[in-house]
Amino acid sequence: MSSKQERQRAITKLIAKDEVTSQPQLKKLLSAQGIEATQATVSRDLEELGAVKVRVRNGDSIYAIPEFEPQRIAPTDQLRRVMGEWVAEITCSGPIVVIRTPPGCAHVVASALDRSALASLIGTVAGDDTILCVAAESVGGSCLAQELSELAGLVTSPETTLKKKGSHGVST
């Protein structure tokens, strides 16, 4: 019988190595390593590890465990790549900037933003497909929205919402 820490370490490695799409699949992968766990145990482990489902290019949803490395700063090129790939729309109201992504992708963009060290961004809160960004008081939401739209390669539409042309199924 393996300890909780050993089991969770194995889960983390499996999720990093394989495209794990379901808890039953994860149970089978654990079993293949000699680690027996119930569905409830696997579910609790995933919750404790902070595992989330993310949509990959082929449309499947797989488990991922976000890395928590607050000291690691994302390079501008990486931020530009993430923003260009996943951001569909940016809107602002006062100091708040709202970013829309495809379902299941908001946390990926928010994590890259949080690690970007942008002086104009205080922080983010991510849902499934929406991110709330708080602009630094000295900059304001409209300037932050413009900066983020440039990183994402978005164009300005008449209603001051920045949208990507033909982005991930989001109508523009």
Q: Using one digit for the tens of pLDDT, what is the confidence trace for 122-137?
A: 999 999 899 999 999 9
Q: Using one digit for the tens of pLDDT, what is the confidence trace for 146-166?
A: 999 999 998 755 444 555 544
pLDDT for 168 = 44
Structural domains of the chain in order of their starting residue, each with its CATH number:
4-64 (1.10.10.10), 76-163 (3.30.1360.40)
- Residue 60: C-alpha distances to residues 19, 137, 153 (Å): 9, 40, 25
Nearest residue to 97 via CA among 137, 148, 138: 148
79 close to 116: Cβ distance less than 8 angstroms: yes
80-83 contacts at long range (C-beta below 8 A, 24 or more positions apart):
80/151, 80/152, 82/108, 82/109, 82/112, 83/109, 83/112, 83/148, 83/151, 83/152, 83/153
Q: Using one digit for the tens of pLDDT, what is the confidence trace for 69-107?
A: 445 555 677 788 889 888 999 999 999 999 999 988 888
pLDDT for 74 = 58
Q: Helix/strand/coil (H, E, C) string of 61-106?
A: EEEECCCCCCCCCCCHHHHHHHHHHHCCEEEEECCEEEEECCCCCH
Q: Using one digit for the tens of pLDDT, what is the confidence trace for 6-54?
A: 898 899 889 888 889 999 999 999 999 999 999 999 998 888 787 888 8
147 close to 93: Cβ distance less than 8 angstroms: no
The pLDDT-based confidence of 2 (bands split at 50, 70, 90) is low
Residues in contact with 140: Cβ distance below 8 Å, sequence separation at least 6, in sequence order: 94, 95
Secondary structure element (H or E) that encloses residue 52, with its range: strand 52-55
59 close to 128: Cβ distance less than 8 angstroms: no
- As a whole number of angstroms, the distance between CA 97 and CA 90 comes to 7
